[in-house]
Structure 1
């Protein structure tokens, strides 16, 4: 029979229930098992910060769609229950993330973000001068930097760093001769901010934490890709000591490719180890066989958002979409949503495995075509379940593949990699031709 208005309304409810959003702590649709496969990265980071003395660095990573921003919200809440004062900064609001990054504009952005957060919470800044005004005054003392910003006010500097590639480059070039002073000034402001917050709290030992989100979104485009990725490596490896700030505890979200780009960089930040979120292990260890436990977790996720999902999908069809998503939560939601507008008749429901194939095909086509040399590399990943990175020149390919989920990261006891399930036939067929 034709689609009834009540059925259309139910499809709409499910569609909207799966809209991409960051969950706040305590949200009833949050399912802890998604990101707690034998370990709780958030609890580990919170404990480490609680035990750290005098400030420190923690690193947090994961592919897009694994729930990093939601988990950072949970981390903020957990640290606050431990007595810390916690600030959150989205670096995307302060930096242009598609161009090379240097320690100068990175620290400027972090100090500026901290300044705005403190002002928003307490109504005033340390020393009654915000960082953007302080930074502009610093620029005025250096001839090279003064020429760059002579016509800009403090607010203009922030906006230009975020949106003007030429201005960002000019600041970087001019700052290279004054890195030590710039780092000292940024560190000094951040330390003053910690002491200011402690004064407001009436506790000279209160821990102050800054969560720096969106660092993982720094990525190169086109011919500039390698230069951008190299700049990220240099930031976290060559300038690791500058990323530690006296008195302040900082959590940096980092790109998932950084462990390959700059292995061991965390040791230069006081022994920081990157805690990683991975895709839900819907496959058994290093195989293509479905894992009933992981599939049950994803069914639980859908049930939390829409308890009567079985009226719209058979269990087999939902599991098929789960496996086609590779266990990536955002991709899982997207595949389900792709199925819903195509329903035209009540008799189609619940949707079968055959009925969800058009959505899978649409998602697959978005990832194609793939160059032959990339397909050969992807095929090696399917055989070894490693990144198979042979030389630095291949780093942009790896970063692109992780960013765009052509390759997914799993953990069944230990970490392993595989190509996106929707690409398996394409990759396997390429290998069978002898390419």
Structure 2
């Protein structure tokens, strides 16, 4: 380590060796992908004229503890921005999932990949003032109905009304809707389920959100609830916003312009009540 720090020749030799190994690794990857495409074409014939590769799971990379966060985030930014050209694969269209906070850390993703990064919005079930949006609620119910052959067997004679509390509690986040639905199907023994059982299932998921909200999050969550905008006061707040957004404590909606709101299950969290009391968002 002492030689590496003080001997510039050794330092340059190590950098050159790493650079060459990296270039060899990239070349080997491209060659293997090329061989894979040829095998596919040979197997299914002329129909294999366009290829899409989906690199999934990269959005889950995160620091194990806060002391590692800066290093991990710098590495991921380098991967997607500084080395973005190497992520383009020959003869393929590639879809990469990415940590959503990266969108709020760098503006270069769109230029590197010749396509703006896409973050999927929630289904709009309410407007910025909190009024119900009927078209969104209808779409979310259709999502539930597609998962159940006969919704009335699970939710009774008026399944639309029975499911409504689940839809409003989840803020148009489809994964939470299906999560609560799965919990009901797995844990209940008698159907149709009662409204009390539905509320209990909602409460159990709400508690998981309350448990991860810190008092240090309270001021920013309150700001988002009031402004519905990305914070621009300083980089630290923007970084904190990205982390809360990645944990779905803040949800994104689009109706023309993009806007943000708290996940409904965040409201009333103990950390917010401790900070703001009855005025908590």
Q: Same fold, TM exceeding 0.5?
A: yes
Structure with more contact order per residue of length (Cα contacts < 8 Å, sep ≥ 6): 1
Question: Displacement of 1:239 after TM fit?
Answer: 1.0
Deviation sequence 1:268-319 (CA, Å, 0-9, x none): 22x12223322221122x2322211111112212222224323543533311
Deviation sequence 1:75-115 (CA, Å, 0-9, x none): xxxxxxxxxxxxxxxxxxxxxxxxxxxxxxxxxxxxxxxxx
Aligned equivalent of 2:168: 323
The answer to whether residue 96 in structure 2 is matched with residue 258 in structure 1 is no
Alignment of 1:237-248 (within 5 A): 237-248=81-92
Match of 1:232, SS? Answer: helix
Question: Displacement of 1:389 after TM fit?
Answer: 5.8
Distance in 2 between the 1:244 and 1:295 partners? 39
Change (3 A) 1:187 1:350: closer
Distance in 1 between the 2:234 and 2:79 partners? 20
Contact 1:229-1:396 at 8 Å conserved across structures? no
Deviation sequence 1:374-431 (CA, Å, 0-9, x none): 1111111112223326555456644542343212222223322211101123376444
The answer to whether residue 178 in structure 2 is matched with residue 333 in structure 1 is yes
Contact 1:197-1:208 at 8 Å conserved across structures? no
Distance in 2 between the 1:273 and 1:393 partners? 24
Match of 1:275, SS? Answer: coil
Distance in 2 between the 1:372 and 1:395 partners? 17
Match of 1:319, SS? Answer: helix
Deviation sequence 1:162-207 (CA, Å, 0-9, x none): xxxxxxxxxxxx845633343334334434544565566666x933
Change (3 A) 1:184 1:405: same
Question: Displacement of 1:356 after TM fit?
Answer: 2.8
Match of 2:95, SS? Answer: strand
Aligned equivalent of 2:142: 300
Distance in 1 between the 2:117 and 2:276 partners? 34
In structure 2, stretches of 5+ residues that fail to align are 1-12
Aligned equivalent of 2:119: 276
Aligned equivalent of 2:7: none
How many pairs were matched up? 259
Change (3 A) 1:216 1:389: farther
Match of 1:211, SS? Answer: strand
Distance in 1 between the 2:232 and 2:20 partners? 35
Deviation sequence 1:29-51 (CA, Å, 0-9, x none): xxxxxxxxxxxxxxxxxxxxxxx
Select the residue among 250, 255, 259 that pairs with 1:407: 250
Q: Which deviates further from its counterpart, 254-263 or 180-189?
A: 180-189
Contact 2:230-2:238 at 8 Å conserved across structures? no
RMSD: 3.4
Change (3 A) 1:335 1:198: closer
Deviation sequence 1:107-149 (CA, Å, 0-9, x none): xxxxxxxxxxxxxxxxxxxxxxxxxxxxxxxxxxxx98xxxxx
Aligned equivalent of 2:6: none
Question: Displacement of 1:238 after TM fit?
Answer: 0.9
Aligned equivalent of 1:17: none
Distance in 2 between the 1:303 and 1:183 partners? 46
In structure 1, stretches of 5+ residues that fail to align are 1-142, 145-173
Distance in 2 between the 1:336 and 1:200 partners? 41
Alignment of 1:191-230 (within 5 A): 191=34, 193-194=36-37, 197=40, 206-223=49-66, 224-230=68-74
Select the residue among 78, 84, 94 that pairs with 1:234: 78
Select the residue among 256, 260, 266 that pairs with 1:423: 266
Contact 1:409-1:416 at 8 Å conserved across structures? yes
Contact 2:231-2:238 at 8 Å conserved across structures? no
Change (3 A) 1:319 1:232: same
Distance in 2 between the 1:325 and 1:397 partners? 22
Contact 2:59-2:97 at 8 Å conserved across structures? yes
Distance in 2 between the 1:388 and 1:279 partners? 20
Question: Displacement of 1:322 after TM fit?
Answer: 0.7
Contact 1:236-1:262 at 8 Å conserved across structures? no
